Structure 1
């Protein structure tokens, strides 16, 4: 077997949030044919000693605590004329860890997320950008007021230039959807650019695996990391602007916000009509209880795992156009155009069938991880040869 350096901005385990789900499944897939040498940042003390189940996939593992404060990263970014996205992840300890792996010899590298591209080396490299992060900052800048808009626009401009520079110097650059790949090409991205879509573990996200669930009134469920700004904005907007319309016809309907680390703005929503769970042992229990799952994101990039998970659990889903973009749902979910349309489609789901077997069938047909990652095998075969 050949040796592969795998760089990630977070330890890819446990696969319990969007980026870690993708990085874990990619790493596990690559471990069939490569000896994987992982260099990754730890967000918490628990990340520093991952489970033996995960370590068994690896030939070696170097985990570096990420301790740099954001104010320091911002000052460094200004002084060095770099994006904060890079200075926040610039670490002498990580540079040493990467150098150690390279010193032992590697055939190729897989870099997960643009923040880690600053550790790019001479070996043939696959760069998994996942999303066009610079476009996300540009969209945030358009929606912000000065002076924050200026800071975000700066980040978008500098990060975009860096993304294009990286893509021109690696063997292949990957995005999570063809829409993201096309956006990058339109923005001047060059080189071998391909889409490798996210998949889902449909055996895990299976309503039959949960069994009977606690009965209750109409429950509208949102799942996600609740200190992530687009998720926070989405649930606040939904609770304040859309839920009241739904409760006029379904006064017993409640909105459950399911996910770890809810911000104060999210916690303040809790009340008679809104449940804020914080971290839960198993989101499938809440998905199984849902009369309808929602993804009302105003800003979304790539493929939303929360939508795939709800589809796999055979739940009715109502999503914004941004959240649905990139998902080949084949009409098995409802896509809403505005607040009124969102409320109307949720009411229709509450009044309609209790399940959505067509959505699960679509997931089984299109989003198996092995099928989604097959293009990656071809790319790595090309660069290794």
Structure 2
């Protein structure tokens, strides 16, 4: 096939957080189908330094630091009537690279990762096919924020939800195919947009089963046990809310029955409210760790007590791949193809402490749950199987003339 132009809102390396995990494996898969030209933003100097690691997968690349602040983006968004999410990612450099690449390279497919990057797809793209990977319905996330926020943030989030939702629908209407990470996200977007299966479909996440393998020897932390583990980016509001609630509400009940239980919050950039949890009895806040597998391997139970979650929770898949018993909230379980009660436990806020206590006090049952979790992931969640439909998506003829 012809060349592929891949646009990503963040350098797709290293695959150590949700968006980078998906974008990196998509990039690897696309590189097997044709020559890839990458345009992406870097969050910081470290991100810029990682760009060279992608050279085995790309023919050309343009990576630039995203420097616009939230305040500047907010003012620009108000002035232009656009979503803040788009204003944050405006760039003459990216736009110029896209225009030059379309002009000079035989681009057959433009593959866009994350809705913010769709603004760089020109209205006149010639014969190039446009595949849009939204991953999640971001506008729904802002709507959920608005439901629980106080003024003025309630109004700000509601505005973002409204404008971004309209932009998502307009983008999907002009794309040849729009992808989401789960059937639940697909169903939600179809209801909002009125678009059907010929335009909107699911492309699920996988797991690197050779990396997240309980048989691989990893260094475990020297911490009190039994260990309850949560993993994630710890300046992300839904993760922050989850661990704060769990540490303050569920952990005391767990420790009343299992006094030595320790809750480890494992992930980079813990916000001040998260760091403060380390003052509570039985709580550890690690910050960034060299290898999350050691913490997962040491865990008696992995928890995902999120009240707000979009798409697929990689943290749940990785824990299951490591053969660990997982207690997930209904929101964190949504979109995961596993049998609740047999391959993981699903419990809401009212029931999560009882579920964790049950696993801590019945290690044989916990071990069986972990083995079943690993078996499910091996059977259904390799990246190769999950991304198998990608070839057909990027090589199909244009659906409509735009």
Q: TM-score, normalised by structure 2?
A: 0.93
> Comparing 78-87 with 185-194, which one deviates more in the overlay?
185-194
- Taking the TM superposition and a 5 Å limit, the aligned residue runs for 1:270-281 are 270-271=278-279, 272-281=281-290
CA distance in 2, matches of 1:143, 1:151: 12
Could you tell me whether the CA contact under 8 Å between 2:51 and 2:63 is conserved in 1? no
Identify unmatched segments of 5+ residues in structure 1: none
Corresponding residue SS for 1:270 = helix
Q: Provide the residue aligned with 1:116 in structure 2.
A: 117
- SS of the residue 2:339 aligns to: coil
Structure 1 residues 175 and 115: alpha-carbon distance in aligned structure 2, compared to 1, 3 A threshold: same
The root-mean-square deviation of aligned C-alpha atoms, in Å, is 1.5
Cα distance in structure 2, aligned partners of 1:323 and 1:299: 8
- Hey, what does 2:150 align to over in structure 1? 145
Q: CA deviation at 1:115?
A: 0.7
Map of 1:82-161 to 2, 5 A cutoff?
Answer: 82-105=82-105, 106-121=107-122, 122=125, 123-161=128-166
Whether 1:267 aligns to 2:275 is yes
> Does 2:231 correspond to 1:217?
no
Secondary structure at the residue paired with 1:140? helix
Change (3 A) 1:15 1:382: same
Residue 322 of structure 2, aligned match among 308, 313, 322? 313
Distance in 1 (alpha carbons) for counterparts of 2:23 and 2:397: 20
Select 1:208's aligned residue among 194, 215, 231. 215
Q: Which residue matches 1:343?
A: 353
Residue 383 of structure 2: which of 369, 372, 379 is its match?
369
Q: Which moved more, 1:114-123 or 1:347-356?
A: 347-356
Write out per-residue CA displacement over residues 200-240 of structure 1, whole angstroms, 9 at most, x where no aligned residue.
Answer: 00110001112574674111000001111111111111111
Indicate whether 1:381 and 2:382 are aligned.
no
Q: So what's the TM-score if we normalise by structure 1?
A: 0.97
- Which whole-Å CA distance do the structure 1 matches of 2:320 and 2:225 have between them? 21
Shift of 1:55: 1.1
CA–CA distance in 1 between the matches of 2:275 and 2:227?
A: 18
Structure 1 counterpart SS, 2:216: helix
Tell me, yes or no, if the aligned pair for 1:210 and 1:284 is still in contact at 8 Å: no
Deviation at 1:144, TM superposition (A): 1.1
Aligned partners of 1:210 and 1:288 also within 8 Å? no
The size of the alignment, in residue pairs, is: 384
Shift of 1:261: 0.5
Selected match of 2:307 from 290, 298, 311: 298
Q: Which runs of 5 or more structure 2 residues have no equivalent in the other structure? A: none
Name which of 164, 168, 174 aligns with 1:163.
168
Contact 1:167/1:189 (<8 A) preserved: no
**Residues 239 and 255 of structure 1 are in contact (CA less than 8 Å); yes or no, is this contact kept in structure 2?**
yes
CA distance in 2, matches of 1:228, 1:210: 30
Q: Quick check: 1:328 aligned with 2:329?
A: no
The separation in 2 between residues aligned to 1:29 and 1:314, in whole angstroms, is 26
In 2 relative to 1, CA 358–168 (structure 1 residues): closer, same or farther, beyond 3 Å?
Answer: same
- The residue aligned with 1:50 is 50
> Secondary structure of 1:62's match?
strand
Partner of 2:181: 176
3-state SS of 1:221 partner: strand
Displacement of 1:383:
3.3
Contact 1:324 1:335 in 2 (8 A): yes
Aligned partners of 2:13 and 2:53 also within 8 Å: no
Residue pair 1:6, 1:109 contacting (<8 A) in 2 also: yes
- 8 Å contact kept, 2:221–2:294: no
The aligned counterpart of 1:78 is 78
Contact preservation (8 Å) 2:112, 2:131: yes
Shift of 1:53: 4.2
What is the CA-CA distance between 1:377 and the residue it aligns to? 1.5
Deviations 1:176-216 (A, max 9, x none): 00000000001124261010000000110001112574674
